[in-house]
Chains A and B, each alone.
Chain A
């Protein structure tokens, strides 16, 4: 019997048969496991943050992210070769002393491209996630607080959108507007908005039952003031968990779209694009051209997932 926290009464929102129960089905990795996790998210007190600093998984994830951020910003200063310089005489070289990760079909140094290939990803990912979080939180607050027909209509639309895998929605839009840092940011931001809105809505449904909400309404506060001034601060931990989880998924989205050819176009080094350009060479045995960018992606997404998971655990413990 370890001191179990009393679970807040949930007004049916977490029932698995609720039509808009927050089931993370976006590949769903590491998502809050439905309303329970979000509702259980406590207050983000300093004590909880100190708990976070004691987690090994958090430190491992944070250090890997830091490594890639440093590479993205300063990488061009210390890479052994210019990532764009083509040396056609030494193309498709396997890893050696001169080229640790080998060279690609145009004779460019794979190590240099891997070290500088995170830049676009690290620009698009946070911007898209912030956009999605702002829009999703506002929408979720409105759905949960206003309720009624507004909630019903928007919930239906959200559910219809969520019936499609996000990769498919995203590339429909990218095909339409063309790939650039701006369009990728906006599309990924918009695609994640309904997911965040759904989580925030569930958290708001719990909060609006609390006395402080009735109290502030009795004091004559308008809906906007109650939503953003009273309820928002109390659902922020849930928003924060959702933000870090989506951050991981945004990396996933950017590299996946790049791999499918909807990313930033060459010659800028980008892990996903480089893999897309070179994976046909796998059959010819040029494994280093794809394996190293693939491992770089794996390290970054795993790192973000570890950090997100640590924050979620700390906030819901």
Chain B
């Protein structure tokens, strides 16, 4: 068990290191001179060069990568080219906003998806199953901005019951913030619902067909008890993995939703940084997303190992 966790941790660190390499060098292929991007096309060449020098972007690539990596290890995410100030506070504020949105989406979609999947499994092959499966499949293939627009048209413009921008403004109360986040959360819920329901359905069908379920039924337990005590416990294992791995997707989907609803989250930060050639901001934002994903995957693995004795003993191969 300890060896297994150590191995996973080692892999995680290696993945993060590779990720930092990829992000740094991908950031470098974006053409354009950061100094020029900040100062505009009419600035004097000498001013551009001076700014480039003060930003450190005229040093060799390897030196800059090592500087950047060293800074990261000390909690220094670098300095934004556009704002001329450290990146960290911007990233932190954006991350908090994104987490609020993601948590709301998860809180809505996880119970919904699991219930949908279990119902579909219990009625396998019948109308309820087909309705849930086809609806889930269709909804999850529709891009977030498409469902977002339909929601804005219906609830924001026609019915006028919900605000169509995501941020409630500074100093807004919890309830007000929540109201503003409902519409942006729904497109994420729609995309995730089909996937979580699909996994929950597959897991439930598998455990419904298992010997231990048959035993439980044959020894005379009521159906509700069989499902609660024997089926659900086993069927929800794969669902946990999916929920964790979808965290990465969720943040990708956030780019679109945050741009559509003009919400100041991580996705919007990365989007603006990419357009404005603000490398330090871009790299920090993308790296945070990678870290969130890798950590979420690790947590899922640990949870699975704790919940499933077979993996705990034999899983390290």
Contacts and interface: CB of A to CB of B under 8 A. Distances in A.
Contacts of A17: 4, 8, 301, 304-305, 311, 315-316
A230 to B, nearest CB: 26
A276 to B, nearest CB: 9
A168 B246 contact: no
Interface of A: 4, 12, 15-17, 19, 23, 25-30, 33, 57, 156-157, 159-169, 171-173, 175-176, 248, 252, 255-256, 259-261, 275, 279, 282-283, 285, 287, 290-291, 294-295, 297-298, 301-302, 304-306, 309
Nearest to A162: B248
Nearest to A167: B252
Interface in B149-167: 149-150, 152-153, 156-158, 164
B35 to A, nearest CB: 18
Q: Nearest 10 CB-CB pairs, A to B?
A: A165-B252, A29-B140, A305-B141, A160-B18, A25-B245, A294-B146, A302-B138, A163-B290, A160-B19, A287-B153
A15 B316 CA distance: 10
Contacts of A248: 141
5 contacts: A4-B209, A15-B317, A168-B252, A282-B157, A302-B141
Contacts of B86: none
A282 B141 contact: no
Given A164-B286, A165-B255, A282-B157, A305 B249 contact: no
A176 B142 contact: no
B142 A165 contact: no
Interface in B37-73: none
Given A172-B27, A282-B153, A297-B143, A57 B242 contact: no
Contacts of A301: 141-143
B6 to A, nearest CB: 13
A306 B137 contact: yes
Given A17-B304, A298-B146, 12 more contacts: A16-B238, A17-B4, A19-B11, A25-B245, A25-B246, A28-B249, A160-B290, A163-B289, A168-B286, A172-B282, A287-B158, A302-B141
B256 A163 contact: no
A172 B146 CA distance: 22
A18 B185 CA distance: 32
Interface of B: 4, 8, 11, 14-16, 18-19, 22-23, 26-27, 29-31, 134, 137-138, 140-147, 149-150, 152-153, 156-158, 164, 191, 194-195, 198-199, 202, 209, 237-238, 241-242, 245-246, 248-249, 251-253, 255-256, 259-260, 270-271, 274-275, 282, 286, 289-290, 293-294, 301, 304-305, 311, 315-317
Given A30-B141, A260-B256, A164 B290 contact: yes
A29 B194 contact: yes
A12 B22 CA distance: 29
B256 A256 contact: yes
Contacts of A165: 248-249, 251-253, 255, 289
Given A30-B141, A33-B199, A287 B290 contact: no
Contact of B311 (A16, A19, A255): A16
A128 B175 CA distance: 45
A199 B188 CA distance: 25
Nearest to A33: B202
Given A30-B194, A259-B256, A164 B246 contact: no
